[in-house]
Amino acid sequence: MNHVLERTPHVPTRALSLETLGMTMRFGNFTALRDVSIKVPAGSFHVLLGENGAGKSTLVKCIMGFYQPTAGQLTVDGREVEVAHPRAAHDLGLGMVYQHFTLVPSLTAAENLVISRADVPAKINWAHEREALAAFMSKMPFQVPLDVPVGRLAAGEKQKLELLKQLYLGRKFLILDEPTSVLTPTEADELLGMVRGLTSAGDLTCLMISHKFREVTAFADEVSVLRRGEYAGGGKVSDLSTADMAAMMIGEKELVRSAKRVATSGNVILEVKGAKAPDRSGFKTIEIGDLKVKAGEIVGIAGISGNGQMELMQMLAGQRPLEEGEIRVKNTPYKATRSEARKFNVRYLPEEPLKNACAPKMTVAENIFFRDFDAKGGKNQFWLDGRRMMAEAARLVGEYKVKTASLASQIASLSGGNVQRAVLARELTGEVDLLVIANPCFGLDFSAVAEIRARIMAARNAGTAVLLISEDLDEILELSDRILVMSEGHIAYETPAASAEIGEIGKYMAGHH
C-alpha cells in the first residue's frame, strides 16, 4: 500500500487510538445516545454490540462527523478533536463502511475508488490510475471486477469493494457497521480475517458493529455493549462468555423461545409450474419447474445471493412478468394483484424492506396501515380513517416492539431492525394463508431474530403456508420442513429438513454437483 501513503503524506502511517467521552445525541426530544464513553486502543479489533435501535450506528456516525453530537468529546491518538464533517474525519485517518452501501451505483468500481480519494487530479489520467489500481489490487487478498458499474455487482462484491476502498484510501481507523450481514459465512471469515491481520500488524484499528457472537469470539479483542442508548458494559473478549455479552445487551429481558413445530398436514396453497422469466440483467432466464408449498409447511429456499432468489420473489409478487408457465394459489391462477392478494390472504416480506416494502418518507403509522387503509371488514373504504390508523399502528408497534420516536416519524428514520419489525407487523396481522419471505432476519440482533423466527413458526403452526427464501443456511435449517437449493436460476436440489445434510446442501449451493 506504499503508493497510497506516498500520495497522501499527511495521513498517519500507524494505527490510531480513539476515545469518546460522554457522547450524547438527541433527535428532537428523543435521546438516541446518552453519555457514552468508550475507549479503543491503537491496533485493536473492537466490537460494538447492542440490540436493534440501541444507538450503535448513531454513535459511530457521531464519531465520523455525520451527526453533530448534542454533547460529548472525541479524542484521536490522545488529542481532542472536533469533527464537523465526514471530510474532517477522513483527514484524521478515520474511515467507515456504512450499514447501507455508499458506493455510487452507476460508476464503475475503478471510478468509485478514484473519486473517493481526497486528491483526485482535475483531469484523470486513466491509464496511470489503472496501473496504480492494478498494483494496489495485486496486494489484496480478494479481487473485485473494476470495470463493471457497481450497481451490477452482487452484495458480497460490493461489501468487499467498500472495504477495499477504505484500504485504498489509507485509513488507519476503520469503522465497520454490520459489514458481514450481506456476506456468506466463508466470505465473512475471509473479510474479517484480513482486517484482523491488519490490526495485529499494527497497521489498522477496527471498530466493528456486529450482531454475530461467532464473529466476536473469533476475531475481536474487546467489546463495548450499548443498551437503549447507554453504555451497558464491556471488556476483553477472552474474559467474557457469549452469555455474559447477551445479558449485557438485553438486560433483564426474557428471550423468546421458538415455538415447537407441531405436526400439520394441509392442502397445496402455492404452486409454481414451469415458470420462466428473464433475470434482472435480461441475459439469463430464471426457471422454476415445480414448486409446491402446503398449508402448515415452511419450504426453505437456500442459495447464495444472486442465483435468482430476488427474481423468484419478484415473480411471486407480480413484479416480474412470466414468459411461460403459471403461478397458482389455492388452485386458481394467481397474478398477484392487490385484490387477489387480499382474497387469498397472501403476504410478502421482501428483502431490504425499507426499499421494497415501504414508502420511506411516509410515517410509521401510514406504512403499517398500507394493507388496510382502503378496506375494513371486507368492505371498501373511501375515506382514510386516521383514528383507526393511529389505533392500529399503536397496537402493532407495541405488540412487535418497534422502537420509534413516534408514530408520526418517517419510517426511514428507524434503525434497520425496526423497519423489519414494522413491516412484519403489517404483513403478519390478520388471516395469512401464504407468506413469502426473503431474508427476514438480515441485520437483526439475536433477540429480535429469535422473536421473528418464533412468529414465523407460530404462523406455520396456525396453518399458514410459508415460502422462506434465505441466504442464512442456519435459518433455513432451523425453520424449514423441506429445503430446496437454488442455483443459477433454477432449483437444483430438494431434501426434507429432517434428513438434510449440510455438506450436500453446500455443494449444490456452490454449484458443484
Partner 1 sequence: MTTDIGLWGVPLAILGGAIRVSTPFIFVSVGEALTERSGRVNLGLEGTLVFGAMSGYAVAYQTNSAWIGLLAAAFFGMLFGLFHGYICKLPKVNDIALGIALMIFGSGLAFFFGKPYIQPVAPHLPAISLGWWSDVPQVQAALRVNVLFIAGIALAIAASWMLKNTKVGLTIRVAGDSADAARALGIDVNRVRLWSTAAGGALAGIGGAYLSLYYPGSWNEGISSGQGLMAVALVIFARWSPINCAYASLLFGGAGALGPALQSVGVTQGYYLFYAAPYVLTLGLLIATSSTTRAMTAAPGELSITK
Ligand X SMILES: Nc1ncnc2c1ncn2[C@@H]1O[C@H](COP(=O)(O)OP(=O)(O)OP(=O)(O)O)[C@@H](O)[C@H]1O
Binding region for partner 1 (CB under 8 A): 66, 85-87, 90, 96, 98, 100-107, 111, 114-116, 118, 120-124, 126, 149, 151, 277-278, 280-282, 320-321
358 binds, among Mg ion, ligand X, partner 1, none (CB under 5 to 8 A by kind): none
Residue 136 host element (H or E): helix 126-138
Distance between CA atoms of residues 248 and 236, nearest Å:
14
Residue 437 bridge partners (DSSP) = 349, 468
Residue 88 host element (H or E): helix 86-92
Beta strands in 353-470 (DSSP E): 375-376, 379-380, 434-438, 465-469
By CB under 6 A, is residue 227 in contact with ligand X?
no
By CB under 6 A, is residue 69 in contact with ligand X?
no
CB nearer ligand X, residue 183 or residue 492:
183
Q: Are 298 and 480 in contact (CB under 8 A)?
A: yes
Residue 156 host element (H or E): helix 155-168
Residue in this structure with the C-alpha cell 473485485, named with its chain if needed: 144
By CB under 6 A, is residue 405 in contact with ligand X?
yes
What is the grid cell recorded at 451? 422473536
By CB under 6 A, is residue 367 in contact with ligand X?
no
Half-sphere exposure of residue 106: CA atoms within 13 angstroms, side-chain side:
0
Selected from 34, 46, 56, 347, the binder of ligand X by CB under 6 A is 56
Q: Are 452 and 420 in contact (CB under 8 A)?
A: yes
CB nearer partner 1, residue 102 or residue 200:
102
By CB under 5 A, is residue 420 in contact with Mg ion?
no
B/e letters for 93-112, b = 16+ CB within 10 Å, e = fewer, are bbbbbbbebebeeebbbbbb
Distance between CA atoms of residues 117 and 19, nearest Å:
26
By CB under 5 A, is residue 57 in contact with Mg ion?
yes
Measure Cα distances from 154 to 159, 161, 348, 490 in Å: 9, 11, 23, 18
CB nearer Mg ion, residue 33 or residue 327:
33
By CB under 5 A, is residue 418 in contact with Mg ion?
no
53 binds, among ligand X, Mg ion, partner 1, none (CB under 5 to 8 A by kind): ligand X
Distance between CA atoms of residues 11 and 4, nearest Å:
10
CB nearer ligand X, residue 345 or residue 413:
413
27 binds, among ligand X, Mg ion, partner 1, none (CB under 5 to 8 A by kind): ligand X
Distance between CA atoms of residues 309 and 471, nearest Å:
9
User: If binding means CB under 6 A, how many residues of this protein chain bind ligand X?
Assistant: 21
By CB under 5 A, is residue 487 in contact with Mg ion?
no
Q: How far is the CB of 174 from partner 1 (least distance, A)?
A: 14
CB nearer ligand X, residue 405 or residue 432:
405
Identify which range of 4-12, 156-164, 369-377, 415-423 contacts ligand X by CB under 6 A.
Answer: 415-423
How far out from the chain centre does Cα 95 lie? 20
CB nearer Mg ion, residue 116 or residue 418:
418
387 CB burial (10 A radius; 0-12, 13-18, 19+): exposed
259 binds, among ligand X, partner 1, Mg ion, none (CB under 5 to 8 A by kind): none
By CB under 6 A, is residue 415 in contact with ligand X?
yes
By CB under 5 A, is residue 181 in contact with Mg ion?
no
By CB under 5 A, is residue 470 in contact with Mg ion?
no
Q: Which residues contact 127 (CB under 8 A, 6 or more apart)?
A: none
- Phi, psi values for residue 146, rounded to 5°: -90, -20
Identify which range of 68-76, 291-299, 403-411, 467-475 contacts ligand X by CB under 6 A.
Answer: 403-411
413 binds, among partner 1, Mg ion, ligand X, none (CB under 5 to 8 A by kind): ligand X
User: If binding means CB under 5 A, how many residues of this protein chain bind Mg ion?
Assistant: 2
CB nearer ligand X, residue 259 or residue 450:
450
Residue 131 neighbours by CB distance under 10 Å:
12
By CB under 6 A, is residue 58 in contact with ligand X?
yes
What is the grid cell recorded at 511? 454449484
Selected from 43, 53, 95, 308, the binder of ligand X by CB under 6 A is 53
By CB under 5 A, is residue 180 in contact with Mg ion?
no
By CB under 5 A, is residue 20 in contact with Mg ion?
no
Q: Are 344 and 334 in contact (CB under 8 A)?
A: yes
Site residues (CB under 5 A) for Mg ion?
57, 99
**Site of interaction with ligand X (CB under 6 A):** 27, 30, 32, 50, 52-58, 99, 403-405, 413-417, 445
